[in-house]
Amino acid sequence: MVGHRIGFLGIFAGDIGLSEYRGGLMVTDESGKPLEYRIAAWVRPNALVRAAYGSTLNEHVVAELIASPLMSQLEYKPRVVFVNDLMALDRDGAYATAHLTHQESVALIDEFDVQTLSSSANQPALSVIQYSSIPARDREEIVALLERARTQFDPYDVFSRIMKVHNIVAEEDARFS
């Protein structure tokens, strides 16, 4: 039996005041082995765009200009995409997303469902944040998939791997620096 593919979408901020973000998306198997990797260059909105979008700009940049294009380019479609930034959660249901954080107690508004996976000998606790509108069976399946993956590798570490790869590409290609 072939295991599920798991996506990890890392969003990394530059100058928050200027709404600068970059991102990377890695799809792995359940053992953490990369199957596919995509990156997005820095998105640096100009003053006109910042003025036009106002307080909605950061979410627009992350969701529409980074997350959505990266997801649409994938050859290997993952069962779920874990994100490190709440703004990257898919609100339209085009793909299943869940936010991972090391915070053990997370207080959010009612539209979210939070489940905490306790720490183990070699894994810190993880909280999984999903939209409450996702059917309970699907939310449970996503948490079970994460628990299986945690026996093989540290899922949260994949975000560090994404940043490292992004930095290496930036050294070689000025469009990503």
The ranges assigned to domains in the chain are 6-176
Residues in a beta bridge with 117 = 126
Dump strand ranges (E) for the chain: 6-13, 21-28, 34-43, 80-83, 97-101, 112-117, 126-131
pLDDT tens-digit map of 79-126:
889 998 888 887 776 777 887 776 655 555 556 777 777 766 666 667
Task: Check residue 143 and give its pLDDT.
Answer: 85
Task: Check residue 1 and give its pLDDT.
Answer: 40
- Is pLDDT at 44 greater than 60 in this prediction? yes
Whole-angstrom Cα distance, residue 62 to residue 22? 8
Structure tokens at 76: 């290997």
pTM: 0.87
Q: What mean pLDDT do residues 22-37 have?
A: 94
